[in-house]
Amino acid sequence: MKKRKTLFVAVTLFVLCVGMVSLLYSFNQPTNVSSHGQLRISDPFNIAKVNSGIRLLHTGDIVLRTGADVTSYMFSQMNEHDKTYSHCGIVIIEKGYPFVYHSIGGEDNPDQILKRDSANFWFSPANNLGYGIVRYNLDSTTLHSLVKITLQFFKEKRRFDMDFDLRTDDKLYCAEFLYKALNEAVADSLFIKPSKMFGYTFVGVDNLFLNSHATFICQVRYK
């Protein structure tokens, strides 16, 4: 019993540390790109992969990415089974172009409200090591509901959840945002199931694609 309590405290402290560190770093493209980031941006292979990925996107797709910074690594470690991806968002095609809605903290998003970024910006190799695209088999009615819910969350300017607390809805971390939007859209609280570890309930990025509803459209690793 004592060992379980110690492990629970350790997990809780880890999550809180992730939240604190996310105030100092950002998943978005920084003003000053590292030398490695500059090389990734200029590589023709990476440019082609960004463009080909954008052409594949449909409304309702879940996009995943692997950040190149320490905060991204820490977030990826919250995944219970597959630690490939550190961040996620949902795609909505607007006037023929895909935009990504996502929840993020960091110095490039100081107000910490839900963001809407162009797919090109979101996939940028500047500070990402790769990406994935996941699609759910949703009918048109459910897809319409998902878009409506996503836009409503965005309109309400819901903030990033520094406490990583699934019990609150006014603040949402990245995987929590998609988890709650999807489950509400399909009217099934177990459509995407959360993980439990040492008594702590959470949603990792891998919960969004390690389930029977999700199909990978592509997975890319930048050079």
pLDDT digits (tens, 9 = 90+) for 16-56: 443 433 333 333 444 457 888 899 999 999 999 999 999 99
pLDDT digits (tens, 9 = 90+) for 128-138: 999 999 999 99
Domain boundaries, the chain: 2-221
pLDDT digits (tens, 9 = 90+) for 134-186: 999 999 999 999 999 999 999 999 999 999 999 999 999 999 999 999 999 99
2-221: what CATH class?
alpha beta
120 token code pair: 């090109």
Q: Are 79 and 206 in contact (CB under 8 A)?
A: yes
